[in-house]
Structure 1
């Protein structure tokens, strides 16, 4: 199997407060899209560190994952080629906001949307997982973090 056929592992934070979900609006090749704070797992990084880092980079908020929401698969394109994504979505506690921190490249703003607003804006979602993650969160899905395992080298951030 060539590297181009390997799945891209991503992480996402699904954060709900008072019936509204934290999203980012970001520039993509398809135009402005809505997404959960999310991004790619980097070499030598565990999933929990990745989702914490991505949330901080995209929202300027600290994040502490408390549960695995689910694992989602989707297909898309990247640079004109088909891509298979595997998304690990987490829920947790949103921490302090750092107003001096610039948002990651491509992120236009953060916003809070209700489930109804998410349903009504499907055509603007970066992937079908955005709505599905919110629906699963609203439905009470939660898996304990101790079901995730990595060898000691991954836990220490070593490739």
Structure 2
């Protein structure tokens, strides 16, 4: 039976900048950039998972304001991902301090800078563009 991997991503914005993490792709070994993101764990809601990943990968604790979208990705590594992306608004450009050893660094980037970075997947930019286009669904859309 086919079962997609459920992942969450945090789209964090402040002053027209987006928070991204720098990591090494586990399949290719290449350096790439991603939103703070990861897998849903047992006994947590999707929004809780996004909050946890944000803290683990950046050291920043914020609450999600809304769901940006649900994305389906059949990655080049052969894995099927269902990605739930949540928006987080930061009141300041806080200095990230990653706690996850897999994260090389985290920093704030403009949209133009992001377009020139090696991204983990096409969903990184797609989620940001959807967020900028005003796609916003209440957290209550997802039954807790």
Query: Does TM-score exceed 0.5, indicating one fold?
Result: yes
2:90 is equivalent to residue 94 of structure 1: yes
Contact 2:95–2:107 (CA under 8 A) maintained in structure 1: no
**Which one of 98, 117, 122 corresponds to residue 128 of structure 1?**
122
- Give the aligned length: 141
Deviation at 1:120, TM superposition (A): 2.1
2:50 is equivalent to residue 51 of structure 1: yes
**SS of match in other structure, 1:61:** coil
Task: Determine the structure 2 residue equivalent to 1:155.
Answer: none
Q: TM-score normalised to the size of structure 2? A: 0.89
| RMSD of equivalent CA atoms | 1.9
Identify, as 1 or 2, the structure richer in helix.
1
Unaligned 5+ segments in structure 1 are 151-159
Find the aligned partners of 2:72 and 2:98 in 1 and give their Cα distance. 30
Find the aligned partners of 1:114 and 1:95 in 2 and give their Cα distance. 16
With 57-66 and 28-37 compared, the bigger mean Cα shift is at: 28-37
**Which one of 66, 70, 81 corresponds to residue 85 of structure 1?**
81
Higher radius of gyration, 1 or 2: 1
Identify, as 1 or 2, the structure richer in strand.
1
Find the aligned partners of 2:104 and 2:116 in 1 and give their Cα distance. 20
Unaligned 5+ segments in structure 2 are none
Q: TM-score normalised to the size of structure 1? A: 0.81
